[in-house]
Chain A
Amino acid sequence: MIPTILADDELLARQKLRQMLFEDKEIELVGESGTTSETLDLVRRQRPDLLFLDIRMHGRDAFDVVEELASDADFPMPTIIFTTAHDGYALRAFEVHAADYLLKPFTSERLKVAIRRATLQIQSRLTPPPTHQTQNGINPYANRIVFKSRGRILFLPVSSIRWIGAEENYVRICTEGESYLLREPIGHLEEKLDPQLFLRVHRSSIVNLQFVKEVRTESTGESVVILLNGQRLSMSRTYRSRINEWLTHS
């Protein structure tokens, strides 16, 4: 069970979220608050693992709450999911390592995704992450990307990316069910992605190795990468050796 607090100054918003959270057996609601000072008191008293925080509340900014909680180094910082009707704060939310950023109104599906991410964050906090730490202890690669798509703000974990295709000045990021267009050179994106997980197979494509089923050479001599879902991506000679290297190592 995850001890959770709801903070929103609108009664109806709290009511909706409360009803949605009742359906989730993992969530244990330990309190609700309507102002920033109430929230601070409540969080300090209850020490929840998860905090749903509305950005605009009576009193001060929600970021002040985060700052004040963080100022006490001994206090266990809860994982935060921001909820707001306004999308102007996404980057700040991202900077304070929020698990997700929900734009109201949201569906229960969207809420489930957010809770799953928060759960992962809570678990990884309890057991320190063993993966891909460099010598100085800082992972130089991105674990998530934040961007705006179709009127939503997405905090996309890179592990959910299947492959990335370049379209002129844009890249198309493909996940299980959706694709997003981002104005970014593919080379720039490649630099941000962990080479242990992602491989450039073509001038215009990068694949997530976790979703690669096989690499095949066609009768025409052309090499293709086949993903778990059957999607085929062509591979150029220059990148061929790199995937061979990876295949032999794993």
Chain B
Amino acid sequence: MNPAVFLGTGALLAAVFALQEWVEVRQMSHHINFTLLLAAWGVQYLLWGAICWVLWQFFGPKLQRVSWFWAIAGLFPLSILLSVLEEMVWVLCFPNLPLWMPHMKYWSRVLFQLRAELVDGLVIFWCAFFLFRGVGYYQRYREKEAAAAKLEVQLAQARLHAMRANLNPHFLFNTLNGISSLMRSDVTAADLMLEQFSSLLRICLERGEAQLIPLREEMEFNEMYMAMQDRRFDGRILQEICVQPELHDALVPAMILQPILENAYRHGLCHLSDTGLLKIEARKENARLRLNVLNSGIGLNPECSKDSDNHNLGLVNVQDRLRLHYGANQSFSISEVDPAKVLVSITLPLQLCEDPAPVLAEYGA
């Protein structure tokens, strides 16, 4: 703490007591020099202010931690010693005091003063001591609280990371498996899939730890993912992407749509022998962002979703992540829209990324 705090408090107390004494003396119809009063009280409390500051500065942490036994056994003599010393210095400063008394020698004046003021000194010392203890308790309480808050944030971060890790290996090994099976039947296709897969990995690696990314990057990833799926479906799926232009810079949780798309392919589109539809739409609704994924297929089949519990893991994961990022300020719904189409709809608060990363673009001959 700043020494000014101690000296300022001392000066304030001194002014209050000086004023009080002056008023008292006036009421008894005596006259007294206010400047002298102020000086006397001022020196008294500024001395205590200095003492308290020294104690705080050099022994603060010790005073806050010392056991009550030692506080009394060790500090009580110290408090008396300090009070005596303070009075000795004070008396030295004011040789003309006390007023209205015959002149006395230095030591008699010290004794006179101590008889009147020793208790005051002790009270000041112990008040300061308890105040220090109190400040110590408060600080430790605040530190604990801050640590708890930090821990909570870290926990949420760790959970988010774990979820992203859950998404990635699943997707990763499925793709590798797909490539492995293509290698026997269609080398060119396997080659193309490997190229697309490396592009996806590059995008993911570049993104790094970022939890929220611009929609443009999210859609880039999804386009790659859909291009890879397209090959498996021989182009039977009509893909439609509608993103309102002002939403390219809107922030969304990274890989929030991929599990939904995966779900659309695995539980909807794969049941179709004919052509199918997969549509992604990003729309601005007031101050909110709506993301829709619509796919044709067999609709929502309750029996189908019961028998394979793990397939919904991806969607549960999406909901959990939305909750962790936005709390209650988001929505997720899955519904069947006629005929036999499934619509997944997400809304979240619209945030635009402030400083979009520069896109590598150069012109040249």
1/0 contact trace for A144-168 toward B, CB 8 Å? 1111111111000000000000011
Tell whether A28 is near chain B: CB-to-CB under 8 Å: no
1/0 contact trace for B185-202 toward A, CB 8 Å? 000100110110011111
Flag if B361 contacts A143 (CB, 8 Å): no
Closest B residue, CB atoms, query A20: B191
User: Would A87 and B248 be within 8 Å (CB), given that A145-B362, A147-B360, A183-B358 are in contact?
Assistant: no
Q: How large is the interface on A (under 10, 10 to 19, 20 to 34, 35 or more residues)?
A: 35 or more
Give the residues in chain B near A107, CB-CB below 8 Å.
Answer: 188, 191-192, 195
A-binding segment of B14-22, B89-97, B216-224, B318-326: B216-224
The size of the chain B interface, using a CB distance under 8 A, is: 29
Dominant secondary structure at the B interface: helix
Tell whether A139 is near chain B: CB-to-CB under 8 Å: yes
Flag if A109 contacts B192 (CB, 8 Å): yes
> CA–CA, A237 to B365, complex, Å?
33
Flag if A167 contacts B248 (CB, 8 Å): yes
Tell whether A181 is near chain B: CB-to-CB under 8 Å: yes
Give the residues in chain A near B365, CB-CB below 8 Å.
Answer: 97, 139, 142-144
Tell whether A106 is near chain B: CB-to-CB under 8 Å: yes
User: Would A181 and B203 be within 8 Å (CB), given that A94-B364, A145-B363 are in contact?
Assistant: no
Give the residues in chain A near B363, CB-CB below 8 Å.
Answer: 142, 144-145, 192
User: Would A167 and B245 be within 8 Å (CB), given that A103-B202, A105-B198, A148-B360 are in contact?
Assistant: yes
Partner of A150 from the list B188, B224, B246 (CB cut-off 8 Å) is B224
> CA–CA, A147 to B360, complex, Å?
5
Closest A residue, CB atoms, query B356: A183
Flag if A151 contacts B362 (CB, 8 Å): no
157-189 of chain A: CB within 8 A of chain B: 167-170, 181-184
Give the residues in chain A near B198, CB-CB below 8 Å.
Answer: 103-105, 151
Contacts beyond the supplied A147-B359, A147-B362, A150-B199: 18 A-B pairs with Cβ under 8 Å? A91-B360, A103-B199, A105-B195, A107-B192, A142-B364, A144-B363, A145-B363, A147-B360, A148-B359, A149-B220, A152-B199, A153-B360, A168-B245, A169-B356, A170-B216, A170-B248, A181-B216, A182-B361
Interface residues in chain A, defined as those with a beta carbon under 8 Å from any beta carbon in chain B: 87, 90-91, 94-95, 97, 103-110, 139, 142-153, 167-170, 181-184, 192
Provide 28 A-B residue pairs closer than 8 Å at the C-beta atoms, listed in order of the A residue: A90-B360, A91-B360, A94-B364, A95-B364, A97-B365, A103-B198, A103-B199, A104-B198, A106-B195, A107-B188, A108-B191, A139-B365, A143-B364, A145-B361, A146-B362, A147-B360, A149-B220, A150-B199, A150-B224, A151-B198, A151-B201, A151-B220, A151-B224, A169-B248, A181-B216, A181-B220, A183-B356, A192-B363
